[in-house]
A = this chain, B = another copy of it.
């Protein structure tokens, strides 16, 4: 993973995104992701790559006993502590690959839009399996393989500047992809659908939900949102230990 999120300029651009300013309700996938959360009353929750802490706050609000939010960016953790603090949430600067994953400790592990920065998912899936209690839930949102297999993660355009199609290439060559996000060069990791889903199954999980994020009807008036119907951008997975 890169530490782009500790870069001051990038961080300032990130802060201007609707989902940063307005949280979950501004995220096009939230209406689907929310439905995949298990009941959280008195449960323990781990958030891998918590960012501003919106999902931690949500879990706390659902009655979770304790929530641990990890992010390798100290700027993100500062922001989370300011915006989304609660007595039952602990925020900690810690990368996904550094955390100790204590055995049988959490009822829910959630990870939102972080795993596409991780080159090798299998060790993460195994560690999440280890740190979940029996019947625990792993809920994650990762950039969709169609999206990461896009050429520079961008459309090809008509002459008038409107999107013509989403170009997929080199699908079966997973690994690093260069793209531009918020005006900054960003390095992401392309994983095939097979790698993601078989990784989850091979770690020992049962697949419960596989949902491609689609924007809700009430967001269709937002500029560019209709194009989100033309190719999948995010993949939501719920798996059970």
Contacts and interface: CB of A to CB of B under 8 A. Distances in A.
A172 B229 CA distance: 5
Contact of A165 (B168, B207, B211): B168
A156 B167 contact: yes
A232 interface: yes
A214 B194 CA distance: 11
Nearest to A206: B206
Contacts of A214: 172
Contact of A193 (B170, B212, B230): B212
Interface string A151-165: 100001000000011
Q: Copy number in this complex?
A: 2
B169 A167 contact: no
A182 interface: no
Contacts of A193: 193, 210, 212, 232
A167 B232 CA distance: 13
Given A193-B212, A194-B210, A229 B171 contact: yes
Given A165-B168, A167-B167, 10 more contacts: A146-B168, A146-B171, A149-B231, A164-B167, A168-B230, A197-B207, A198-B209, A198-B211, A201-B208, A201-B210
